[in-house]
């Protein structure tokens, strides 16, 4: 069964890690027909008049699944985030960022296994900012009951479907009594009504952050609104080896876009320095999604093979520089492909 997937290389380190990921998926035997489309600076460079061209949107709408590299967001001015625009336009309201210790990557912790579930469409990411008068700015945090309930249900469902036991909601409802208060109330009510088989707890985000670094193993699924989810994801990435090893997925009811947590990393772009693992692991999440939604067991087999191959490489010390190794982006992809070639072909 061949699946059509839209590949958006992105910009910065995006094209390098996307190329490595595609090569590894192909070597592993993933039955995927790739449709390449562009977004961000890469789209402008190819003559598009917008950073999110219509044909890119159409391709995702038509095929339902995309694997996406990062797109640069200018700081303090310029165009708005393409990543955020894509999530809003496709209504990809649930972001999932699994954070797991990797056997071949030594960090302070060796038992991290948690999932950050982030609301993806509102909060301060609504991007509604106003100049009230010179030197006075307001930035509006949006919380709607519909989105708060939807992400709560999504988080509980995801937790349940993955055999997780506890959902912790991070909030700051002591200060943002109305907006975070609404988020908290919706999560609490959804839990009471439909998910009481799962353990449920609430943590004020500052204390929650402290507890994460003290003992990440006590967390299972962390549910939060948009901005908290963004920050917590990077914090948690730091527990297991950094942004080079933290994958992600954005889900809506109709579409799914898989992308690493990291940004376009302009400081290392084009130098064969980026770790492709985060996007590769996002690709593995995508294969598991295809297996589930299209009942294609072959995708699970390929996903497992890729996971085993990169773990074997990491354990042998074949790593990129962010993980203390010597390999470049291409070198690491070569190593994973060699490992896949050595592995027995499944019957």
User: What are the residue numbers of the active site?
Assistant: 125, 172, 206, 230
Residues contacting residue 344 through CB under 8 Å, at least 6 positions apart: none
Identify the residue among 112, 232, 265, 340 touching ligand ATP (CB under 6 A): 265
Among 208, 244, 248, 283, binds ligand ATP (CB under 6 A): 244
Q: Does 240 bind ligand ATP (CB under 6 A)?
A: no
Report the nearest approach of ligand ATP to the CB of residue 321 (Å).
7
Sequence-distant (6+) residues with CB within 8 A of 172 are 180, 204, 205, 206, 228
| Of residues 268 and 343, the one with the C-beta less far from ligand ATP | 268
Is residue 278 near ligand ATP by the rule CB under 6 A? yes
Helix (H) / strand (E) element for 35: namely strand 32-36
The interface mask with ligand ATP, positions 32-71, x = CB under 6 A, is --------------------------------------x-
Question: Is residue 24 near ligand ATP by the rule CB under 6 A?
Answer: no
Residue 327 DSSP code = B
**Would you say 250 and 116 are in contact if contact means Cβ atoms under 8 Å apart?**
no
Q: How many residues bind ligand ATP (CB under 6 A)?
A: 15
Among 324, 329, 331, which residue's Cα sits nearest to residue 102?
Answer: 324
Beta strands 123-133 and 166-171 are unpaired
Nearest to 9 by CA among 73, 71, 69: 69
Q: How far is the CB of 1 from ligand ATP (least distance, A)?
A: 31
Backbone angles phi, psi at 25, to 5 degrees: -60, -40
User: Of the listed pieces 41-49, 84-92, 111-119, 263-271, which binds ligand ATP according to CB under 6 A?
Assistant: 263-271
In 3D space, the residue among 137, 136, 93 whose CA is nearest the CA of residue 117 turns out to be: 93
Q: Are strands 94-100 and 113-119 parallel, antiparallel or unpaired?
A: antiparallel
Is 263 among the residues that bind ligand ATP (CB under 6 A)?
yes
- In the bound state with ligand ATP, the residue whose beta carbon lies nearer, of 265 and 312, is 265
194 binds ligand ATP (CB under 6 A): no
Which is nearest to 255 in space by CA: 57, 33, 21, 81? 57
Beta carbons within 10 angstroms of residue 122's beta carbon:
22
Binding status of residue 111 toward ligand ATP by CB under 6 A? no
Residue of minimal CB distance from ligand ATP? Answer: 263
**Which residue in 48, 268, 291, 298 binds ligand ATP (CB under 6 A)?**
268
DSSP secondary structure letters along 186-220 = HHHHHHHHH-TTSEEEEEEHHHHHHHHHH-GGG-S
State the minimum distance, in angstroms, from the CB of residue 273 to ligand ATP.
7
Query: What is the per-residue binding string for ligand ATP in 285-324, x denoting contact by CB under 6 A?
Result: -------------------------------------x--
Q: Per CB under 6 A, does 339 bind ligand ATP?
A: no
How many helices (H) and strands (E) are present in the chain, helices listed first?
11, 12
Task: Say if residues 118 and 156 touch (Cβ distance below 8 Å).
Answer: no
- The CA distance from 148 to 173, in Å, is 14
Minimum gap (Å) between residue 263 Cβ and ligand ATP: 2
Stretch that binds ligand ATP, among 149-157, 212-220, 221-229, 261-269 (CB under 6 A): 261-269
Please list every residue from 154 through 183 that binds ligand ATP, using CB under 6 A: none
Q: Bridge partners of 332?
A: none
Task: Compute the least distance from the CB of residue 78 to ligand ATP, in Å.
Answer: 13
Question: Binding residues for ligand ATP, per CB under 6 A?
Answer: 13, 70, 73, 243-244, 262-265, 267-268, 274-275, 278, 322
């Amino acid at each position: 069964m061949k699946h059509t997937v839209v590949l958006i290389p992105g910009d910065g380190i995006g094209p390098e890690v996307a190329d490595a990921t595609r090569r590894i998926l192909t070597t592993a035997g993933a039955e995927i027909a790739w449709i390449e489309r562009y977004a961000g600076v890469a789209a402008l460079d190819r003559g598009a008049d917008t950073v999110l061209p219509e044909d890119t949107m159409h391709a995702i709408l038509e095929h339902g699944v995309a694997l996406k590299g990062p797109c640069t967001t200018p700081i303090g001015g310029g165009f708005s985030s393409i990543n955020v625009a894509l999530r809003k336009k496709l209504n990809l309201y649930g972001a999932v960022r699994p954070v797991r210790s990797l056997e071949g990557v030594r960090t302070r912790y060796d038992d991290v296994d948690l999932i950050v579930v982030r609301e993806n469409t509102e909060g301060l990411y609504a991007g509604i900012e106003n100049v009230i008068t010179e030197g006075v700015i307001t930035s509006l945090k949006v919380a709607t009951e519909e989105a708060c309930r939807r992400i709560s249900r999504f988080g509980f469902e995801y937790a349940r479907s993955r055999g997780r036991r506890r959902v912790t909601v991070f909030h700051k409802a002591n200060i943002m009594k109305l907006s975070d208060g609404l988020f908290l109330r919706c999560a609490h009510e959804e839990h009471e009504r439909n998910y009481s088989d799962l353990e449920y707890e609430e943590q004020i985000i500052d204390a929650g952050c402290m507890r994460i670094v003290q003992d990440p193993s006590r967390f299972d699924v962390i549910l939060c609104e948009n901005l908290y989810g963004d920050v917590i994801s990077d914090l948690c990435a730091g527990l297991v080896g950094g942004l080079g090893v933290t994958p992600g997925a954005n889900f809506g009811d109709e579409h799914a876009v898989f992308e690493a947590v990291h940004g376009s990393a302009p400081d290392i772009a084009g130098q064969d320095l980026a770790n492709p693992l985060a996007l590769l692991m996002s690709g593995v999440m995508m294969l598991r999604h295809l297996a589930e939604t299209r009942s294609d067991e072959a995708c699970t087999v390929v996903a497992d093979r890729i996971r085993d191959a990169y773990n074997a490489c990491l354990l042998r010390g074949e790593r990129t520089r962010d993980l203390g190794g010597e390999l470049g982006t291409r070198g690491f992809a070569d190593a994973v492909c060699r490992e896949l070639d050595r592995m027995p072909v499944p019957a």
